[in-house]
Structure 1
């Protein structure tokens, strides 16, 4: 039995294509502790979303396994909730009804009053209780993403999976939601895996950053611990030497990896 809360062990992922077999991931080994916040970062096509889908149970690994609390992940389940870059709210349902749909389908043994209270609690947690009766088309992009996060959290997931949740938002809205996410995670203690392309976001939010090599056959190139004290304040960190050192390390990995691929591609074209 795994000693870690969540573990990816010897995971390979291969897909069949018209041109033959494509190996997206090779030998992924990652162990997470309960309540840990881990970011996945790397260039496009490095398999970050594939890793997330494996943990979500949407894909079955070609080799190896994903273990959560000592049990192998063999399909989707409410203990693993996903927040997408696109909020994925149903446009004909109100904010409250979007969250209630997830709650009602997960907590079938709870009374109607208990489920309604749960919906209200998580709306308040993301500061959206004032918009409970509005339709998604009547609220901003940032507010929609808050509702998406509330819906994911309302089913009480052990692991929260986030696929570039703030990527489509403007800088100010993004910053506000990052701060909200830190507050929520501190309160609830969910284990979080988040995909991001934003180095500052990764350093600000994470306990560890998992840096992926370029695909095909992508793997984990480096794992960087982020030993910054919590709670974290973005303004104070702007003058923090350790913050900038960690940021430079991630940028260096991404830049060096991109250069290596460019050099290999250039040599192939010359040949």
Structure 2
């Protein structure tokens, strides 16, 4: 039997609770992700979405279970998993170019020449349409542009898995839509493996191959996994009249609504 590209197996996580003891955030989380898939994880606040992403990133160590990436255990951060957070996390004293180049130098200093690293930095900024702002610093560009730079920095590391934690959550609706289209186009061109946390049902359906729906916390786990049966490339305007799009959207909304109405069923 072929092993999945990214395997999340029986993952459980606990944190210290107020007044002592432990609070169980995640329990028995099992998920197999194939190479090139775009996976969205959705659920109500407190269901452990970001905790799960941080475990895959190696920023947290699960209490039980484990993560395998290409059959190798994940137990620490590494350049094979790049994270894009809701906050862009750019270094304010560096230019747009320098923020991305810093990651390129860190990962490829022994593999690419100085010229090749320069070209690679510019290539990834071109992917997110930021070549016009190479010399600007973060305070000189918009929030959406900062997120573009954060995505370019992550892609420049050539990660096996791109992890995104609500990357568009702090943006206005128009900027959010533009960045969704950018990410969708990049995924179409690169065929990269993506795991994204979101609260936005429409975003999940638009971008994903599968949507992982989490039960309510505490002791959250995967409730359902929906395969989004929509061909790529996806056009958001055409999808507005697509019955398959509305069917997927309704399925996610129904799950989330029922979990909200009946939180006891999430245990």
| Fold shared per TM-score above 0.5 | yes
Q: How does 1:1-271 map to 2 (within 5 A)?
A: 3-18=3-18, 19-109=20-110, 110-261=112-263
Deviations 1:49-93 (A, max 9, x none): 011001001111111110000011010000000000010001110
TM-score, with structure 1 as normaliser = 0.95
Deviations 1:172-213 (A, max 9, x none): 111111011011011111110000000000000000000000
CA contact (8 A) 1:126 1:180 kept: yes
- Evaluate the alpha carbon distance shift between residue 112 and residue 192 of structure 1 in structure 2; reply closer, same or farther with a 3 A threshold: same
Q: CA deviation at 1:6?
A: 0.2
TM-score, with structure 2 as normaliser = 0.97
User: Unmatched 5+ residue regions in structure 1?
Assistant: 265-271
CA contact (8 A) 2:259 2:265 kept: no
**CA distance, structure 2, for counterparts of residue 60 and residue 262 of structure 1:** 28
RMSD, aligned α-carbons = 1.4
**CA distance, structure 2, for counterparts of residue 245 and residue 227 of structure 1:** 10
Q: CA deviation at 1:215?
A: 0.6
**CA distance, structure 2, for counterparts of residue 263 and residue 56 of structure 1:** 29
Q: CA deviation at 1:2?
A: 6.4
Q: CA deviation at 1:263?
A: 9.8
**CA distance, structure 2, for counterparts of residue 235 and residue 112 of structure 1:** 43
**CA distance, structure 1, for counterparts of residue 66 and residue 82 of structure 2:** 19
1:30 counterpart SS class: strand
CA contact (8 A) 1:40 1:211 kept: yes
CA contact (8 A) 1:2 1:67 kept: no
CA contact (8 A) 1:2 1:69 kept: no
**CA distance, structure 2, for counterparts of residue 263 and residue 6 of structure 1:** 28
- Evaluate the alpha carbon distance shift between residue 225 and residue 263 of structure 1 in structure 2; reply closer, same or farther with a 3 A threshold: closer
User: Unmatched 5+ residue regions in structure 2?
Assistant: none
**CA distance, structure 1, for counterparts of residue 49 and residue 158 of structure 2:** 24
- Runs of 4+ displaced beyond 6 Å: none
Q: CA deviation at 1:17?
A: 3.1
2:187 counterpart SS class: helix
- Evaluate the alpha carbon distance shift between residue 65 and residue 262 of structure 1 in structure 2; reply closer, same or farther with a 3 A threshold: closer
**CA distance, structure 2, for counterparts of residue 5 and residue 42 of structure 1:** 24
